[in-house]
Amino acid sequence: MIRNFLNSFKNNGLFFKMFIVMVVSIVTVSVLITFTMIRMSERLFIDTFSIGNSKVMDQVTTDFEAFGYSLVSVANQVQQSSYVENYLTDQQTDPLALAKATHRIKQQMDRYVTMIDQEGVNIVLLGENGRLYSTNYVNWPVSAKELSKDRITLNTYKEPNRLLYQYDPKTIGREDAIVVSKALIEKSTDLIYGYIYIAIQEQDFKQLYARYTGNGNHVMLLNQTGMVVSSSEESITGQKISELLQEVKGMENHNSNYKQVEVLGESRLLFAKYLPAFDMYLINLIDRESVQSNLLDTKMIVMISAIIVILALFIVFLISRGLTKSLSRLVKQISNMSKKNFDSYVTETGSYETRQLANAFNDMLDELHAYVRKLMDTQKKQRNAELEALQQQINPHFLYNTLASVKFMVQNGDKEKSAQTINALISLLQNTIGNISETNTVELELNNIKNYVYINQIRYGEAIKVHYFVSPECLQFELPKLILQPFIENAFFHGFNRKKEGYIQLLILQKDHQLICEINDNGDGMEDTPLNQKSRRQLFSGIGIRNVEERIQLLYGEQYGVDVSSQLGEGTRVTIRLPIIKSKESTNL
């Protein structure tokens, strides 16, 4: 019996080996997959959940930015109003004149209240002459004497040029509120003649994010001292949670968009985003247990895996038994082929399956020859398409926010500035989308950048100055289209997250038979990261340094490219080296 078994094993060695290997492999893989799935299901589900939740955070951030923009618009218009300045500085006590002045102020303040699309808003003016005006005393009842000594006013006095967001806790006769304050400064003397306070009851303020909250899902605003300024969880509003602030700041050094933390005695998922306009953190805390309750059923996973293993073993037995003989011959033919010798075809003999496999193998060789040729052509076309897509790229959020800014300016009656902004946008679109040329002159690219900078300064103010130093002889030189604008955009939106003011310099000159373009800023800077490593944050609005480098070298050669140097806290310098290419028009002249 043993001899018969040994002979059978020898004659059907391929079958036994294949079947044993497949049995061990299937069982091992199934066990490992089942174990890994159970162990990793929580992490996978949370990662998937975090993607959707990040989009919710982006939407909440957009709502806050729109709300913040309306507050900035109101504060700026109040600052520019001569009626407000006269009302807060005039010492006249004549009842009739005072009544007329109060009536004018009421008309203006009522109009400003409508600009803030939020319930429960109260705009309060306090002058150095002791006068106080309130649009809705019920929402935030304060007196001039009380307000002049309040910490909100003292903090505003210390930082007169900033729009401060402060928490006013609940007191007798007054609900807790969010107060946005700014000093009113006389332009010629730089003296403070009054203050504007935009107060919103915390219950009304939380409506900005209330629809995104639910059972076990809480949203809050945390200031730089660790105080909860606003929260969907009322019990912690006004509390100081230092450990939460430390966790949030610790996330800035990690790529993950969420973190598992122990806060307020519970295990929670922490999502956080910094809001520069508010100088606060938008935080989303989700109870971990509520997420885990949606995980897969472990028993069901084990049962399905067991059924799959049994079916797989049965099918493997049938198939391997029928294919072993003819398959052995086919394997011998294939194994005798020389490496990389794709012109050797196998003989199509044996069982139906083996003949089909041999036929498929021979067809594969034919298709491989055709595929290699096609792949070479496709790679060239794909690379050209990628470059064209990069050249024609324009951020849809930029268009949306620009049009939203124009809408606000039109609503506020600033027709001249809105017209200038539209003209700048039209010019920018004509030269980025309408112009199909692969290159631009330095002069045309410079105009595009100026239009882009003008639009951003209309939207965000002129705290970030942009200076241009362009050598006149370089104006008619050619350079790849949209090669400078992403670096300017990166400096605007990533270079000044901590610093609120600074400058960006654009220098274009001819040096050593090369066109040198430098973009310098004195912003936050970053740790020096080599080009062959992935940076912690995405640079240049989705266009990595490597893509820009490859685009330049593809067009002009490896001796040209991009150099980036940066120092944390000092700023960043981007140097682009290009060949000297004069435009055809200047050459004809």
pLDDT at 267 over 70: yes
Residues contacting 357, CB < 8 A, separation 6+: 327, 330
In contact, 456 and 430? CB cutoff 8 Å: no
Q: Work out the percent of the chain whose per-residue pLDDT is above 70.
A: 78
CATH superfamily of 81-205: PAS domain (3.30.450.20)
pLDDT band at 442 (very low <50, low <70, confident <90, very high): very high
One-letter amino acid for residue 394 of the chain: I
One-letter amino acid for residue 457 of the chain: Q
* Res 323: pLDDT: 62
Return the CA Rg of the chain. 34
| C-alpha–C-alpha distance, residues 152 and 165, integer Å | 9
Residues contacting 487, CB < 8 A, separation 6+: 519, 540, 574, 576
- What number is the average pLDDT over the span 258-287? 83
pLDDT at 540 over 50: no
* Res 4: pLDDT: 61
pLDDT at 532 over 50: no
- What number is the average pLDDT over the span 118-125? 87
DSSP per-residue letters across 122-171: EEEEEETTS-EEES-TTTS---HHHHHTSHHHHHHHHSTTS-EEEEE--B
Angle at 504 between CA 500 and CA 509, to 5 degrees: 175
Strand partners, 199: 122, 179
Name which residue leads in pLDDT, 128 or 11.
128
| pLDDT tens, residue by residue, 316-340 | 777 766 666 666 667 666 766 655 5
- What are φ and ψ of residue 48, in 5° steps? -65, -40
| C-alpha–C-alpha distance, residues 256 and 240, integer Å | 25
| C-alpha–C-alpha distance, residues 565 and 528, integer Å | 6
Strand partners, 177: 168, 201
| C-alpha–C-alpha distance, residues 150 and 173, integer Å | 16
pLDDT at 10 over 60: no
Strand partners, 468: 506
DSSP per-residue letters across 237-306: TT-B-HHHHHHHHHHTTSS-S-EEEEETTEEEEEEEEEETTTTEEEEEEEEHHHHHTTSPPHHHHHHHHH
| C-alpha–C-alpha distance, residues 561 and 559, integer Å | 7
In contact, 475 and 583? CB cutoff 8 Å: no
pLDDT band at 576 (very low <50, low <70, confident <90, very high): very high
Query: Among 220, 213, 283, 279, which residue's Cα sits nearest to residue 248?
Result: 283
pLDDT at 434 over 60: no
Hunting for tokens 């112009």 — which residue is that?
Answer: 435
Ranked by mean pLDDT, which of 287-296, 423-432, 470-479 comes out on top?
Answer: 470-479
| pLDDT tens, residue by residue, 132-158 | 999 888 888 888 888 988 999 999 999
Task: Give the domain 438-588 fold.
Answer: Heat Shock Protein 90 (3.30.565)
Q: How far is CA 223 from CA 126, 150, 240, 278, 434, in A?
A: 25, 19, 9, 9, 45
- What number is the average pLDDT over the span 4-17? 58
Residues contacting 130, CB < 8 A, separation 6+: 144
- What number is the average pLDDT over the span 516-527? 90
In contact, 530 and 562? CB cutoff 8 Å: no
Alpha helices in 336-437 (DSSP H): 352-391, 396-411, 415-429
Name which residue leads in pLDDT, 305 or 283.
283
Domain assignments of the chain as residue spans, ordered by start: 81-205, 438-588
pLDDT band at 385 (very low <50, low <70, confident <90, very high): low
Residues contacting 458, CB < 8 A, separation 6+: 405, 409, 417, 421
Q: How many Cα neighbours within 13 Å face the side chain of 242? A: 0
In contact, 22 and 15? CB cutoff 8 Å: no
